[in-house]
Amino acid sequence: MNSKCAANIKALKLYNTVGIQTGIEEASPHRLIQMLLDGALGRIASAKSHIYQNEIEAKGVNIGMAISIIGGLRDSLDHKAGGDIAANLDNLYEYMTYRLTEANIRNSHEMLDEVSGLLVEIKSAWDGIAGHELTARANETTPLMQNTG
């Protein structure tokens, strides 16, 4: 790899880091959860790719990062306000952590697919909540037009 290419890669990584940090600083708590879900899904996809390429260390690193992200999601649960939903999510996140650990040990892309599917379901519900919040805010801030005709 020539020095110009290496410099471009370094600049791209720095740009991505700054972009992510800016996104985090400006994000609502709801958006932060969406970002965590996206991050976990991305790490699982990378781990799956590393299994196919027989890159065991990189697979383990990505699965470990996905487990950490899911741990962050578990830590963010408000059991007092969330009641049964928070308890169910906590159990589901615990199950996902177990399955990711097993996927790492067994090099199982099927287990990774299972966890990805569960995360996609949670993310779609979370994205739906965000859509409802945006609609509600728009309705609150947009004055109703009166029919003058």
pLDDT digits (tens, 9 = 90+) for 114-139: 999 999 999 999 898 866 555 555 44
Question: How far is it, in rounded angstroms, from Cα 108 to Cα 100?
Answer: 9
User: How is residue 107 written in tokens?
Assistant: 């090099």
Compute the mean pLDDT over every residue in the chain, rounded to the nearest whole number. Answer: 80
What is the DSSP track for 65-105?
HHHHHHHHHHHT--HHHHHHHHHHHHHHHHHHHHHHHHHHH
User: How is residue 81 written in tokens?
Assistant: 């306000």
The pLDDT of residue 141: 45
Domain covering 31-125, topology: Four Helix Bundle (Hemerythrin (Met), subunit A) (1.20.120)
Q: Model-level pTM?
A: 0.73
User: How is residue 57 written in tokens?
Assistant: 């260390």
Among 14-18, 30-34, 72-76, 107-111, the minimum mean pLDDT is found in: 14-18
Residue 119, Cβ density class (10 Å: 0-12 exposed, 13-18 middle, ≥19 buried): buried
Question: How far is it, in rounded angstroms, from Cα 104 to Cα 98?
Answer: 10
> Are residues 38 and 122 in contact, defined by beta-carbon separation less than 8 angstroms?
no
pLDDT classification of 4: cutoffs 50, 70, 90: very low
> 75 pLDDT exceeds 50?
yes
Higher pLDDT, 26 or 101: 101
> Are residues 8 and 28 in contact, defined by beta-carbon separation less than 8 angstroms?
no
> 86 pLDDT exceeds 70?
yes
Question: How far is it, in rounded angstroms, from Cα 99 to Cα 40?
Answer: 14
Question: How far is it, in rounded angstroms, from Cα 43 to Cα 89?
Answer: 20
CA 60 to chain centre: 18
